[in-house]
Amino acid sequence: MVWIAVHLLIATKKQHSFNSIIKPVSILIAVRNEEKNIHFLLYQLLNQSYSLFEIVIVDDHSTDETINKLKKITHTKLKWYQLPDGKEGKKEAIKYGLTKCTYAWVIMTDADVKMQNDWLSSNISKMSEEAIIVSPVYVEVKKATYFNMFQQLDFAAMQYLTIASIIAKKPFMCSGANLAIPKTKALELYQAIDTSIPSGDDVFLLHKYIEQKGNVIANVLPSSA
């Protein structure tokens, strides 16, 4: 644990001064039955300190009010689509959404993620080369029960191990709730991923990329939960 803490401290100090990279990015979110989260998600994204982005949302056949809420939102940065009939699942939604993204870099997140207003800029500061940028995701404890606190500690440990493994050049897992990748590379990798398996969209993507000897970068200041 001391080794992990030291390496994270060094990486954090290196990252505190965001570089001057300026490039537009596409934020891609696959959603399903997110009526409770969609408004707050968009509020957070539209209040980011970095402004050169578009939001691409793909709805995976929601049965709640998600679509109706999206229909009522008009903003030049927002594009949303419904996953065509015959396709379903998060992997298919992401794969479809990638074809709708305008910009060369794509940042993937989830509808229930909470983020600070420098979330985008912290990711963009790492976009100097072709790589997958992996960021930690934190669990918010709404009620301080023993189970919830244990869950938070367990999840936090996984996030530390994720970042530490990348720093050690041995990445093995990541979270699709906080992941950045060049669009062309993502499209290529998703062609090789089995979309019939319902989970693992993030880890399968990472492992396919590692098989190609791709570079994986840790972003230790993602400012999201």
- Is there a domain that residue 224 lies in? no
- Is there a domain that residue 175 lies in? yes
- Is there a domain that residue 225 lies in? no
Task: Over range 72-89, report the average pLDDT.
Answer: 96
Segment holding 202, helix H or strand E: helix 201-211
Contacts of 93 (CB under 8 A, 6+ apart): 30, 31, 32, 58, 59, 60, 83, 87
- Is there a domain that residue 95 lies in? yes
Separation between Cα atoms, residue 129 and residue 58, nearest integer Å: 27
CATH label of the domain that carries residue 138: 3.90.550.10
pLDDT digits (tens, 9 = 90+) for 30-73: 999 999 999 999 999 999 999 999 999 999 999 999 999 999 99
Task: Over range 71-86, report the average pLDDT.
Answer: 96
Is the pTM higher than 0.85? The answer reads no
- Is there a domain that residue 13 lies in? yes
**For the purposes of burial, counting CB atoms within 10 Å of the CB of 74, is it exposed (0-12), middle (13-18) or buried (19 or more)?**
exposed
Segment holding 14, helix H or strand E: helix 2-15
- Is there a domain that residue 102 lies in? yes
Q: Is there a contact between 111 and 195 (Cβ–Cβ < 8 Å)?
A: no
Backbone angles phi, psi at 110, to 5 degrees: -115, 160
Number of domains in the chain: 1
- Is there a domain that residue 40 lies in? yes
| Per-chain mean pLDDT for the chain | 83
Separation between Cα atoms, residue 110 and residue 93, nearest integer Å: 12
Cα Rg of the chain (Å, integer) = 17
Please choose, from the candidates 218, 224, 223, the residue with its C-alpha nearest in 3D space to the C-alpha of residue 160: 218
Beta strand extents in 50-159 (DSSP E only): 53-59, 78-82, 105-109, 132-134
Residue 12, pLDDT > 60, answer no
% of the chain with per-residue pLDDT over 70? 84
Structural domain of residue 143, as residue ranges?
A: 2-218
- Is there a domain that residue 223 lies in? no
Q: Between 141 and 71, whose confidence is greater?
A: 71
Separation between Cα atoms, residue 41 and residue 59, nearest integer Å: 14
Token pair listed for 35:
């009526």
Token pair listed for 132:
């997958």
